[in-house]
Structures are given as structure tokens and as C-alpha cells.
Structure 1
Amino acid sequence: MSSAGRSHPTPADGLSFPTSLGTSTADEIRLLGQDLATDLMGKVGFGELAFWLVSMRRPTPAETRVFEAVLVALADHGFTPTALAARLTYLSAPDSLQGALAAGLLGGGSRFLGVTEDCGAYLHAVIGTQDGPLPADDDGWDAVALEAVRATRAAGRLVPGLGHPVHKVRDPRTAVLIGIAEEEGLRGPHLRLFEAIGRVHEQVLGRRLPLNGAGVCGAALADLGLPVELLRGFALLARAAGLLGHIAEERRRPIGMDTYLAVDGNATYVAPDSGEPPG
């Protein structure tokens, strides 16, 4: 029987599955305590709704602007591994749009997209170790950042949010997002610490690296009070739009087959015990 032909079962005695998200009856759909059709549709933007669904509070216009700027910043960055995974999966299974989209999203990890969460969590942890009030000026934040970078380096770990495979000097998204947060009064401790890391890390690492866009997005999301454990989800939400765009373009102007043939046609046999191509 189709879902349209089924009615909701009557709750069994003693069973309860509480939710503050969506419920429906034959006549109404409720979402976040609102009537979906009359209170939300056409009145709430998708980014605003996504924020609301996670935080259980409606964001202010200022928060919505920063949040949606993050989504735009993370939507697409060219032929990244996530985009190629989606395109090649679509090439292999054009009957499975959902598979292609999922393939791209599954590639969101510590090198691509996941840095948003990694950086937000890192900054949040550093801030959480501070005793007393947080710094009131750049010098104070620089001292906190310097200690954190030194400790991270001593532990043999990388500072998330530093460096980018393409933008070697400056990530164009970083200053813009910081500026938007400043304009909206939402340049909080996570962004200030991230900026301080950008100023002092060269003293420890011996080289200057740009603050990347994924990292600044994590800092901005953390300053909005969103759970740092879920920040990767927002990066994936943004990238879903970009991946859908890549799949649409793959239909219009395909590159998947050429990509596959280029790799396959240039495959070189390497002897299992040598690690080098045969001479």
C-alpha cells in the first residue's frame, strides 16, 4: 500500500517518541511548533530554517546573514575530490542521483569540508581552557593563540584552518566573512582567536600560512552558538547544493568519461615489490 493510503497508527499504551521537529496529521503539518503551510512557507528562508532546526531557536537577521554567508562560502570550490566523486558516480550510475550526491558528501572529511568542524572544535577547546575573563584586545588573544599553537606543534598535530591547497597566500573568503561578522556584531571569541592564530603561527611554524575559508566558517558558526560537534553537517548542507550543481552540469557538459579515460589511459604498472614503475 502506498504511503498515501496509510493512516497514522494510534500510539500504543506506554509508548512515546518525543520530538520538537515535525509532526503531521491528515489536515496539518507542524514544524518547530509552527504551521508549516501558513507560518513558514514563503516566510522563512531555507538557511534560517536550517539554523532553527538545529538550535531550536529562530535566528536573528544578523545571525541569519552570517550563517548564510557561511553556506555560500562552502557551497562549491571547483573540481574538488567531492565534486569528482559525485560526477564519476553519476557517470557510472546515472539512474541513481541520490547515489552520486551521497558519494560527494561522503568525501567530506579532515582534508575537505571537515576542517570547518575541526577548526571550530579546536578553537572551542582552547577557549574552554582559559581561566577568568577572555582577552579584551589583540595582544591578549595573541598570547592565547601563541600558547595554543606551541602546544599543538609540541603534540605533533596540525592547527586546523591553517593553509590551503590552492590559496597559498590568501583565501578570499576569510576576510569577507570576518567583515560580515563584524558588521553584524557577531565577531566573537572563536573568530578573534582564529585571527590571532593567523598573526602568530609563523613564530612557531617558521612559515606563514593563510587562514582558510573552511576554518573561518567553523569559527563563525561556533560564535553563533551552534554545537561544534555538528559543524561538519553545515558544511555538508552547503556542499549538497554545489554537488547538485555539478551533477546538473555533468548532464549538460559531461567531463566524467574524459576524467575516467584520462586516468585509465595513463595507468602505469608498478611491480608489487618495488614501489617503482618498471624500467
Structure 2
Amino acid sequence: MTTETTHEPTHEAKVRRFYDDSDGGEGAGQAYTELMGDVWHHGARDAEENGKTVAEAALIMERRLMDLAGLEAGQRALDFGSGPGGATVQMALMTGAGFVGLSNTETLNQRARQRATAEGLDGQVAFLTIGDHDYRTLAAWPDQTFDAVTFFESVCHLPDKQAFFHAVFRVLKPGGRLIGLDWLQRSWGEYQTDEQIQTITGPVCELIRLAGLGTLDTYAAMMRTAGFDVTHAVDEFEGQLCWGSTPPEDRERWLTYDGPSGELFQDAKRALDAARGAGVFTVGWWAATRPSV
């Protein structure tokens, strides 16, 4: 008599399946592209408040962060969690720097490569598919390879965020910049303890395959533990509810999405809106430097 052992997929494998558009995947790549285009991150709050579109506000956020990165033509940057490549391509166009976009999902990278080719950036931008756990070491690159490393709403998927920041420190040149934007939790109103907050954020993490939400301060602390000097740590929606990247008039499109795994994305939208409405969800951004000595 033999006993079969069933191995639960790792969290990272669940993330890959979530974004995968091929057979067996949950199709978030297709869903998000249909609903948001090829840029999937929040934009600058003040830009949206002044009447800019979601896409315009996202571009303004990218420019703000690229100014902090200080990237120039001929330098090299790594964009972790590059998704369909829209932000990566725009940052390359802004700065003239070479970019390597990373994802553990080949179907996303296929779309991203098409985007780079359409912009004539084949020689400037590349998109690589890495193993599920390669983010912990970034072992494909030697020490001090890059002038900057960026992430846009991707580290929230990682179970071992600290290992990622240590790996980033290693591959950055002295004086190189770490620039990131990510989903966060925070205390708000009646929700003050982690237990209270996670009654609201838990469904978001489960449905969107997040490895728990950090806070503005825990991210900054992990960066410092890795050796960085943190120069900026900003809650983009400090003092107000974070609605950000989905205008109210677009909500119905999410709630009626009928593509692959449609019910999953409808449920995820409801859970995220509940977290936004409770005030416990926000988006923050950081800039940090690897010391020169």
C-alpha cells in the first residue's frame, strides 16, 4: 500500500498562476489589461485631485520617482514585478536608461516584450522570466550591477520581503537608488490593531494572492536592515481614504467582468473597495540609497 503526498503550492507559485493567461492560469494578466491597460499602479494623488486621468496621474508618479532615482542615459536599472511592461517602457523612455523587467510569469513578459518592440526599445529594454524564489537572491546578477532598482506594487506579493531587499542591496552599485511604490495597510478609525485591520485586509490578500500587507514603517525598516539609507517614506494618501487607481465610474466594469475567473476578480474588487472604504488600505512610496562607503 502506498500513500500519496499532496504538496501545497508555494505562495509564489500561486502568484504565478494568478497572473498566468495560459491554460491552468487564473488570467489576471488578461483581466487587468482589459480593465486598466498596460500600467497597473496608482498615480499621484494631487494629479488626480486636479483632474488628471488615471493614466496621466500614473505617468506623473513615474516621473516623480524617476527624478528621485536620478537615472541617466547609459545607466542600468532593474524593474522588479514589471507585469505587462507599461511602466517599465515609460521609465526607459523618460530616462534613456536600460531596463531589465522581471516577472515569474512568462505570459506577462510576452506582452511586455511586444510593448517594448512597439516603442522601438528592443535594444534598451528586456523582460526576463525568473523562478518563483529567485527574488530572494537575484543570483543571476553579480554584485553592484545596477544603478537603480524599482518596484511598482509587486513586493506585496512576496512572502520573504526582507530577503528581496538584501538582494537588491547586493546588486546595486554604491550610491545606487532603490525606488518603490506598494500596497500597504494602516490603522484608521476603529481599526487600530493588526487583528482588527486584517479582518478587512485578509480577504484582499487571499483573493489577490498577496503575502500580507506591510506598513510604511515596516518597509522602511526592512530597507534599513538591508543597509539602505531611506530618504523618503510617504503615504500617498495620508489623512484621506485611498481610492486611487479605479475611478468610481469604472467600478461597474470590474463588478461585471466576465472573462476567465471573472467571479474571482469581482470578489477581489469588492474586498479591495471594502478595505479602501474602511481606511485601512493605502499606497506608499520610498526612495533609498546604497551608501557609497
Same-fold call, TM cutoff 0.5: no
Which gives a bigger RCO, structure 1 or 2 (Cα 8 Å, sep 6+)?
Answer: 1
| Higher share in helix | 1
Instruction: Identify the TM-score tier after normalising by the shorter chain.
Output: under 0.3
TM-score, with normalisation over the residues of structure 2? 0.27
TM-score, with normalisation over the residues of structure 1? 0.28
| Higher share in strand | 2
